[in-house]
Amino acid sequence: MAIYLLKRIALLLPLLLGITLITFTVIHLAPGEPVEMQTSMSPKITAETRQRLREYYGLDKPLYVQYGLWLGRLATLDFGRSFAPDNRPVLDKIKERIPVTLSLNLMAMIVEFGLALPIGILAAVRRNTLLDKGLTLFVFLGFAIPTFWLALLLMYFFGVKLEWLPVSGLHSLGSERLSFVPWLLDMARHLILPVGVASFGSLAGLSRYTRSTMLEVIGQDYITTARAKGLPERVVILKHALRNALLPVITLLGFSLPGLIGGSVIFETIFAIPGMGQLFFMGVMARDYPLVMGILVIGAGLTLVGNLLADLCYALADPRIRHGGR
């Protein structure tokens, strides 16, 4: 087990290096440079000014030199400074956005798992009944409706017509003067729509997945045995079947780890939520290379760690894998 772990960790580094190399190349392949985006078609810019800006950002050097320099800085965990005119350290920009995205995604994930698992189990147990079909319809509706459209409808209904909920943003104006509990309530009101819309959209995948693994497990011999022993159906499903059915779900949980810091652009844009998705999108549009690379590296790192953790949890939870090597 320990050797397996070491092997996996040793493999992470070259993998990460490969990812950075590919992303670095791809970003630089996109037409337009940061200088370009700031200055294109402005009459105030002469070739000389443009050259000056390129030198300032180090864009005049060959690509492999730029990559080497960037990698060298990364080795000391320095993500560099943003190419945006504010020139702030990339890490600062990411740091102020991560808490928002992380907490929002965590909430959405809790709601998602909290709803999708029971839905999946219920649909499996009552397979092919009206309930199963109704639930299926419900989750696929969430999957199929474009997020932005649903979000706008809900905003209009709850925000403009009924005036029950705020339309967008995270806080009301002047909320900084509130004491903690009212402040929290204010933020909670702002979060109802985004969290609701986000989790509604992702119910389908998880609930359908739970349903199918559950069905598979229910068909197994040991479930028949459990039933034959005369155990009540509740115990059969929740104790014997569920445990085994949840195994693959752990993998999904591992996969959603990087998703926790990767915000959705459309979603954050619509609700005016200052998260990672927006930051990344604006970075890409402005060709802010250090920022984009910074976010991608962190994302890639988390994906790799997430996969590793998922595999480990899997091994811990499933004795067949744990002992498989022997």
Partner 1 sequence: MTFRWIHTVLPLLLLLVGCSVADPPGSPPPRSSGTVANGDTIVTGSIGEASTLIPLLASDAASHAIAGYIYNGLVKYDKELNLVGDLAQSWEVSPDGQVITFHLRRGVKWQDGHEFTSRDVLYTYRVTIDPKTPTSYAEDFKQVKKVESPDPYTIRVIYDHPFAPALASWGTSILPAHLLEGKDITRSELARRPVGTGPYKFKEWVAGQKITLEAYEGYFEGRPHLERVVDRLIPDSSTMYMELKAGGIDMMNLTPVQFQRQTVGISFLERFNKYRYPASSYVYLGYNLSNPLFSDVRVRRALTHAINKEELVQGVLLGMGQSAKGPYKPGSWGWNPNIQDPVYDPAAARELLAQAGWNHTDGDGILVKGGKPFRFTVLTNQGNAERLKTAQIIQQRLRAVGIEMKIRVIEWASFITHFIDTRNFEAVILGWSLGQDPDIFDVWHSSKTGKKELNFIGYRNEEVDRLIVAGRGTFDQKERQRCYWRIQEILARDQPYTFLYVPDALPTVSSRFRGIVPAPAGISYDFIHWYVPKGEQKYTQ
81 phi and psi, to 5 degrees? -105, 145
Smallest Cα–Cα separation from 293: which of 60, 93, 49? 93
- Judge whether 306 and 257 are in contact, CB under 8 Å: yes
Q: Which listed residue (2, 3, 14, 87) binds partner 1 by CB under 8 A? A: 87
Q: Which listed residue (23, 39, 147, 251) binds partner 1 by CB under 8 A? A: 39
Token pair recorded at residue 264: 């959705």
27 binds partner 1 (CB under 8 A): no
76 vs 87, beta carbon nearer partner 1: 87
d(CA 278, CA 31) in angstroms, rounded, equals 21
Smallest Cα–Cα separation from 99: which of 261, 317, 244, 217? 261
Place of tokens 């009924």: 162
31 binds partner 1 (CB under 8 A): yes
* Residue 215-254 contact track with partner 1, rule CB under 8 A, x = bound: ----------------------------------------
49 binds partner 1 (CB under 8 A): yes
Report the Cα–Cα distance between both ends of the chain, in Å, rounded: 10
Report the nearest approach of partner 1 to the CB of residue 210 (Å): 33
The piece of 72-80, 84-92, 235-243, 312-320 that touches partner 1 (CB under 8 A) is 84-92
88 vs 323, beta carbon nearer partner 1: 88
Q: Which listed residue (80, 120, 142, 166) binds partner 1 by CB under 8 A? A: 166
Q: Which listed residue (85, 319, 324, 325) binds partner 1 by CB under 8 A? A: 85
How many CA within 13 A on the CB side of residue 59?
18
d(CA 99, CA 105) in angstroms, rounded, equals 10
d(CA 91, CA 82) in angstroms, rounded, equals 9
Q: Which listed residue (14, 43, 230, 319) binds partner 1 by CB under 8 A? A: 43
- Judge whether 147 and 271 are in contact, CB under 8 Å: no
41 binds partner 1 (CB under 8 A): yes
Report the nearest approach of partner 1 to the CB of residue 60 (Å): 14
> Under rule CB under 8 A, how many of the chain's residues touch partner 1?
57
What DSSP designation does 126 have? T
Token pair recorded at residue 116: 């999708």
What DSSP designation does 44 have? T
Q: Which listed residue (2, 3, 77, 173) binds partner 1 by CB under 8 A? A: 173
3-state secondary structure of 246: coil
110 vs 272, beta carbon nearer partner 1: 272
The piece of 51-59, 126-134, 246-254, 317-325 that touches partner 1 (CB under 8 A) is 51-59
Side chain identity at 246, as an amino acid letter?
L
d(CA 138, CA 115) in angstroms, rounded, equals 12
Its sign, for the CA torsion 214, 219, 220, 226, is: positive
Q: Which listed residue (63, 131, 272, 316) binds partner 1 by CB under 8 A? A: 272
37 binds partner 1 (CB under 8 A): yes
84 vs 295, beta carbon nearer partner 1: 84
Report the nearest approach of partner 1 to the CB of residue 157 (Å): 10
7 CB-contact burial (10 Å; exposed 0-12 / middle 13-18 / buried 19+): exposed
Q: Which listed residue (32, 72, 114, 219) binds partner 1 by CB under 8 A? A: 32
Which chain residues interact with partner 1 by CB under 8 A? 30-32, 36-47, 49-50, 52-53, 56, 84-88, 93, 96-97, 100, 148, 152, 155-156, 159-160, 163, 166-171, 173-174, 177, 268-275, 278-279, 282, 287
